[in-house]
Every structure is written in C-alpha cells, then in structure tokens.
Amino acid sequence: VDIHSAMTPVSQKCQLDVLIFVLFIVPMWSSKMFRCYNDQELQAAADRKLRTHYLRPTEAPRSTARSSSYSCPLELYKTPLSDEQRDRSLSPWRFVTHIKEDHFPSTYVGAQCLCSGCIQLKDNKMIEDYDYNSVPIVQNRVFLKKELCDDKKTYRLRPVNVEVAVGCTCVRPQSS
C-alpha cells in the first residue's frame, strides 16, 4: 500500500505546513542561538545568556588558592572542629581558582583534594590511611565558549559542559 495515496488532502496539507514551519524556524532559531558578536557586545551577550538560560552555582568561597604546594592537613584534626565542611571531612579539600580565557565565565573555583588517602583515627593518632582514597566530587557546569565566526572579526558563544570539582569524598579503592 502506498502511504501517500492513503493520506487525505488535509493530512498532506498539515505535513506541508509542518515542513515549511521547520524550514523557516530552525535557521532563524539557530542563527539567533549562535549569532556573532563584536568585542563590545560579547561580554553583555554572555552575561545575558548565562543569567537567562543556565543555572549559575552559588558564590565561591573567598579564600581560594591559585597554585601552591599543599599537604594532607592532619594538624587540623588536633584542634576544635571548624564550621567548614571541607576542614572537617575525612577527605579535606581546598578551593583553587581556575582560568579559561576563551570561556564565560573566564574564572571559576574548583575543589582540590588535599590528601591521597583518607584521614582516620588509629591508636589515638590521626593518620592518612592509604587503604582508602580521596576523590573529587564533580558537577557538570555550563560555560559559554568563545569561538571565532567565519568573518574572523566576530565571535559566537557556544554552550559547553565543563566538569568542576565541588568537594572531595573518601572511597574504598577500586579493585582491579
């Protein structure tokens, strides 16, 4: 049975209307979604898109590190407990500022585990126990990547997912 001969004129008209709609709307939608911006428009466009289309994470903590040496902070566990989760965890972390120049936002804060193992109490002494592993907890966040348009003078903003560490947790090692 030929499917086209079984269709009524009304259903054929509906199909044609849908096809025309798709042919006109998709190019307009995609051109607006990936429109090109000059340098002056770029930051405002990125701010607008991030504010209206993508959920932004809560503000990062004020005390962050750029890059410096660090070690597992066993001494923290000899003093009264801190209010900060990252300082009380069996897998403590610090926040580090990351820079991605061709992304909006161009800086973000991610967690960095301070221990390879996990902090445990053994024989009334705090130790780093390597029978367990400290691993980052990651979250996908949407950033807008700045890409050069065909005219080589303007830029489009393409949404990309970036894995961002938001904390660390203690796990049993993977068995091979």
pLDDT digits (tens, 9 = 90+) for 59-74: 555 555 555 667 888 8
What is the pLDDT averaged over residues 26-37? 62
CATH number of 34-171: 2.10.90.10
Q: Is the model's pLDDT at 174 over the cut of 90? A: no
Q: 0.75 cut: is pTM over it?
A: no
Top-confidence residue, 81 or 28? 81
**On the CB side of 37, how many CA atoms lie within 13 Å of its CA?**
20
Q: With bands split at pLDDT 50, 70 and 90, how would you rate the model's confidence at 23? A: low
Sequence ranges of the domains in the chain: 34-171
Tokens 């086209």 found at: 4
